[in-house]
């Protein structure tokens, strides 16, 4: 089990899910460019309809996890158990925020082992630390031997974070840009999270960078990793 978790984040995007993993669509709600003035009254209605739609998808089991993100660009995410990006966009195209042009849908296939639990209540949220691993612009180049060495250290650090009860889940993206994958942390202590991530040789060498964001999802959805 621990070896599987350590294999989840890869240096390069992949087109096929590794063994014992599933593929679902990670949908980020992102702030649309430009200004989209909405009255206070209309805003309340849009928000209520938006939450209601996500709740219905969650109740059906189509949405595995969902919740807002505290970030200037990424404002929410939902993990959909649908076959591809088109199906995810079709399902959320009538979201009221998308309809008025305030938010856009950013869909990325995500490969992971489904360790999430269904929360008892959709609206009972807790704060989770969520991180996107991405390749920096002008990332330094290293020899193949050095990259292999750093990759081994990267995977070893993932395993350590899991064993220490800090990391709950991880997995690579099949992205068309520099985003490589995500970390979802069980630890609520941001200082502990930063200390745990710091030794990662790919991050230290600036081959990867981690964008950490507070994310709110159903209490009990994200559970501590336990080895078998």
Q: How does pLDDT run across 50-102, given as a tens digit for each residue?
A: 999 999 999 999 999 999 999 999 999 999 999 999 999 999 999 999 999 99
How many residues in total does the chain contain? 228
Q: How far apart are CA 86 and CA 89, in angstroms?
A: 5
Q: In terms of DSSP bridges, do strands 63-68 and 179-185 run parallel, antiparallel, or are they unpaired? A: unpaired
Counting residues of the chain whose pLDDT is more than 90, the rounded percentage is 79
Tell me: the pLDDT tens digits for 122-136?
989 999 999 999 999
Q: How far apart are CA 126 and CA 194, in angstroms?
A: 19
How confident is the model at residue 9, as a pLDDT?
Answer: 47
Quick one: pLDDT band at residue 5, thresholds 50, 70, 90? very low
Tell me: the pLDDT tens digits for 197-220?
999 999 999 999 999 999 999 999
Backbone phi and psi for residue 110, each to the nearest 5 degrees, phi listed first: -125, 130
Q: Comparing 10 with 227, which gets the higher pLDDT?
A: 227
Among residues 214, 223, 204, 109, the alpha carbon closest in space to that of 162 is found at 223
Tell me: the pLDDT tens digits for 8-45?
444 444 455 566 688 999 999 999 998 778 888 999 99
Provide the strand spans (E) within the chain: 22-31, 63-68, 74-80, 103-112, 125-134, 167-172, 179-185, 209-218
Q: How far apart are CA 77 and CA 63, in angstroms?
A: 10
Greatest alpha-carbon pair distance for the chain in Å reads 59
How confident is the model at residue 66, as a pLDDT?
Answer: 95
Tell me: the pLDDT tens digits for 92-114?
999 999 999 999 999 999 998 88
Quick one: pLDDT band at residue 115, thresholds 50, 70, 90? confident
Q: How far apart are CA 53 and CA 121, in angstroms?
A: 15
Among residues 126, 81, 155, the alpha carbon closest in space to that of 222 is found at 126
How confident is the model at residue 38, as a pLDDT?
Answer: 87
How confident is the model at residue 114, as a pLDDT?
Answer: 82
DSSP 22-63: EEEEEEEEEEPSS-----HHHHHHHHHHHHHHHHHHHHHTSE
How confident is the model at residue 207, as a pLDDT?
Answer: 96
- Cβ density class 137-160: b for 16+ within 10 Å, e for less: eeeeeeeeeebeebbebbbebbbb
Quick one: pLDDT band at residue 141, thresholds 50, 70, 90? very high
Counting residues of the chain whose pLDDT is more than 70, the rounded percentage is 90
The single residue listed with the structure tokens 């209540």 is: 121
The pair of three-digit structure tokens given for residue 68, joined into one six-digit string: 């807002």
Ordered by where they begin, the domains of the chain are 2-218 (3.30.70.1060)
The yes-or-no verdict on residue 1 having pLDDT over 50 is no
How confident is the model at residue 212, as a pLDDT?
Answer: 97
Tell me: the pLDDT tens digits for 190-199?
999 999 999 9
How confident is the model at residue 16, as a pLDDT?
Answer: 59
Q: How far apart are CA 183 and CA 133, in angstroms?
A: 8
């Amino acid at each position: 089990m621990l070896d599987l978790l350590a294999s989840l984040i890869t240096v390069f995007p992949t087109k096929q899910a590794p063994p014992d993993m599933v593929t679902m669509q990670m949908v980020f709600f992102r702030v649309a460019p430009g200004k989209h003035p909405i009255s206070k009254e209309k805003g309340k209605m849009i928000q209520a309809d938006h939450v209601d739609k996500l709740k219905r998808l969650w109740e059906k089991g189509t949405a595995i996890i969902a919740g807002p993100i505290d970030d200037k660009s990424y404002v929410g995410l939902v993990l959909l158990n649908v076959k591809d990006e088109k199906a995810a966009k079709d399902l959320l195209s009538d979201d009221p925020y998308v309809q008025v042009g305030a938010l856009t849908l950013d869909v990325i296939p995500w490969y992971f082992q489904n360790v999430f639990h269904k929360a008892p209540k959709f609206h009972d949220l807790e704060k989770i630390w969520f991180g996107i691993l991405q390749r920096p612009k002008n990332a330094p180049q290293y020899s193949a031997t050095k990259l292999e060495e750093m990759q081994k250290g990267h995977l070893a650090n993932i395993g350590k974070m899991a064993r220490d009860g800090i990391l709950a889940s991880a997995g690579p993206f099949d992205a068309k840009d520099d985003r490589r994958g995500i970390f979802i942390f069980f630890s609520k202590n941001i200082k502990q999270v930063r200390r745990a991530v710091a030794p990662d040789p790919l991050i230290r060498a600036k081959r990867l960078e981690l964008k950490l964001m507070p994310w709110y999802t159903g209490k009990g959805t994200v559970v501590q990793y336990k080895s078998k």
